[in-house]
A and B are shown apart, each in its own frame.
Chain A
């Protein structure tokens, strides 16, 4: 159990357009999900904490108007990259916790975003 599904796995978009990435917990409910960004050959940078039914909490330096997060249900969080630019090209990964005494996070497969 504890599967997190992320979609799409790869997306190419033009500069100036917006891209939505979905993160779903398939077999558990998640009141909190996390969005990370990974630069080439680098570690994961936490972007924001997504809270079901309320506003996301963004890490310092992350533009909340550029990276819109919506956690509308207990099994779905979305990250929308608005007005994308080539420098937004990256690997984005979400994670969620099943709770119930389990301390480990489960991660989605990641989304490779390329902005051309």
Chain B
């Protein structure tokens, strides 16, 4: 079945540091890939998405590129802020699964001054 693997957290960075959160996936067909962010006590918000190979999703300074050859969708940001502290979830939808999202385990990011 489909699966998403994320790097273990927590990730602790100083403000303005470079961020990478690794995400790899296993899926049949051609899934769409997503990053969702969850701030403390809240639901999930879509951060960015990519629907086909080599697409780059970007939003609020975050970027991720759909790499089919490495089955990866790593999240990057050049300079993190304290307000980026949250849990980040990598996820996929496979068109054959009735729109069920398959989530990774989530990576907690803590940014300090």
- Which residues on A are within 8 Å of B, measured CB to CB? 6, 32, 34, 41-44, 46, 49, 93, 95, 97, 103-110, 112
Contact = CB atoms under 8 A, between A and B. Distances in A.
Nearest to B108: A41
A6 B99 contact: no
A104 B43 contact: no
B20 interface: no
A43 B101 CA distance: 12
6 contacts: A43-B103, A46-B100, A49-B98, A107-B36, A108-B43, A110-B42
Contacts, number: 50
B101 A103 contact: no
B42 A34 contact: no
B43 A110 contact: yes
B43 A34 contact: no
Nearest to A41: B108
A104 B45 CA distance: 10
B89 A103 contact: no
Contact of A104 (B42, B46, B89, B108): B46
A34 B49 contact: no
A50 to B, nearest CB: 12
Given A41-B108, A42-B106, A6 B43 contact: yes
